[in-house]
Amino acid sequence: MKPTDNFLPFALPSIGDEEINEVVDTLRSGWLTTGPKTKRFEEDFAKFIGVPHALAVNSCTAGLHLALEAIGIQPGDKVITTPYTFTATAEVIRYLGADPLFVDIDPNTFNLDVNQLADTLAAEPGVTAILPMHFGGQACDMDTILTLAQRYGVKVVEDAAHALPAYYKGRLIGTFGDLTAYSFYVTKTLATGEGGMVVTSHPDYAERIKIMRLHGMNRDVFQRTSSKQPFWYYEVVAPGFKYNLTDVAAALGIHQLRKAESFLRRRTEIATHYTQALADLPVRTPYVHPDNVHAWHLYVLQLQLEELTIDRDTLIDQMTQAGIGTSVHFIPLHLQPYWRDCYGFQPTDFPIALQVYQRAVSLPIYPGMSDANVERVITSLRKILTAALR
């Protein structure tokens, strides 16, 4: 959906002529599936992050699944993660027969509360990995997480679906854990429609993912065409999955990646403008750790409901009536029927996640927003909240 005089969408990819021309070139080449463009995208991505291995996949979900499989997660294992995320973060744990062990979130960053993480690791036997999610684009406390992981002998797989590019103490997310997975879904900071990437510094993990992302075959189609062995020959060495990225999607990713830092600058400008313009309203604007660089995939307000005569859902309805798309990130997993019923959760089991959810509103933030679009969001929000003051 494109922004019009009547409606400003919540999210919109920023696609230029470079991406379009690269896709056209791909279509004309006759090579649509995983091939030379995907290889080029992987090489560019590895160089951008500063790691030796980047493996393109068809979603961040696929990337997380492959990452957990690569480190050897098995039935009966426990993987610590957050309840304040999209269900994919936890569902990949169940794919492997393991169990997610939810830890509540920090009330400022909405990331894993590292104090509760430490308590859980000390109290729970059978934990084999930590799966932190960098909420909204703000890096988790990686120093503490890695210290705890080393102390308890567990692996770290990062969900960086929101975190491209995000920096923790001067280093890009993707250079810390054992493996890191990114999302290129249409709403993300780098968009290929569908797609993802896994990065790692461990060659054994990279080799395992390379095999498992395409049916457990030891050679994909592109490798077979560039090999001295017969084109048709391959060996199935494991029961793998169908998780490869196409060259059509990679063609978009090549140029989206080149724009990553300029996209970040524009997102930061919008976020800064929001924070300054909304400071006197009954909302809490996003906290940004002074040592980090926020990727600003999301800009999430916390409504001070005690000072308002309307609730969050009414605010969203009124913003929609004003022609502005908003959203909610996230409905905590312990409230969702599957997770609630599977593990017997109560709403108050993770009180911070519950409270944050009840007050959360995500505003539009994407590079294609004009200054006039941003002002329209601010003006509409100010009008609604001012009228709703107690």
The residues assigned a catalytic role are 188
Which residues have CB under 8 Å from 4's CB, separation 6+?
A: none
Q: How far apart are the first and last CA of the chain?
A: 36
C-beta separation of 329 from 301 below 8 A: no
How many C-beta atoms surround the C-beta of residue 238 within 10 A? 13
Alpha helices, DSSP H only, in the chain? 17-29, 36-49, 60-70, 88-95, 114-123, 142-152, 203-212, 221-225, 247-258, 260-277, 312-321, 337-343, 351-359, 371-387
Q: Extract the tokens encoding 122.
A: 């000390």
C-beta separation of 198 from 209 below 8 A: yes
Question: Would you say the C-alpha torsion 115, 116, 121, 123 has a positive or negative sign?
Answer: positive
Report the candidate in 30, 101, 74, 114 with the shortest Cα–Cα distance to residue 339: 101
Q: How far apart are CA 297 and CA 142, in angstroms?
A: 19
Helices 17-29, 247-258: inter-axial angle, 10-degree rounding = 150
Report the candidate in 257, 266, 268, 108 with the shortest Cα–Cα distance to residue 191: 257
Helix (H) / strand (E) element for 292: namely: strand 292-293
Q: Residue 250 CA to chain centroid, in angstroms?
A: 18
Sheet containing 292-293: order of strands = 171-172, 167-168, 292-293
